[in-house]
Amino acid sequence: MNKFITPGKAKQVNATILAPENAGLRLVLNAVGQHGKFESKLDGVLTKKWSKVREDYKGWYATQHNFKLGWLNNTAVSSDTWVVNMLVEDKDGKLDATALQLAVKKVAELAKYEHGSVHVSTILTAAIPALQPLLVTHCIETGINVYFYNEPTK
């Protein structure tokens, strides 16, 4: 921990990820794989409101341009909200820990550069338990605010 950097804040929010809190740029995280499927529980939640996220991922998969583990693909769903697809699963759907770490580092760099905050659904942290400690290390300790959303159940 650097004593010259004010650490970011982590906040639990009991609301849907589809209405992220805070002013400024909001980066909504999503994890995708090299298999080309967009079928996880969080994918379904995001597609309900923002179908462009699915289209952009499918286009990224089709072209295979910069389609490497650990890379990011951003979709602007509004002027101040971007969905960031992190490519962290291999072709078999297995999580790649190195790719996850690289992707979180890139998310932190993007958030710092764009002066944004990071927004994560607990659906994603439940599916990828290693994500939360990485967000603490790379985002919160470097001054980026991170919001964790508990999705409302019907």
The full set of domain ranges for the chain reads 10-149
Q: What is the pLDDT of residue 16?
A: 93
> Are the CB atoms for 31 and 84 separated by under 8 Å?
no
pLDDT along the chain (154 residues), means of 10: 77 93 93 94 94 96 95 96 96 95 97 96 96 95 94 76
Beta bridge partners of 74: 84
At the top level of CATH, the class of 10-149 is alpha beta
> What global pTM score does this model have?
0.94
Distance CA 141, CA 135 (A): 9
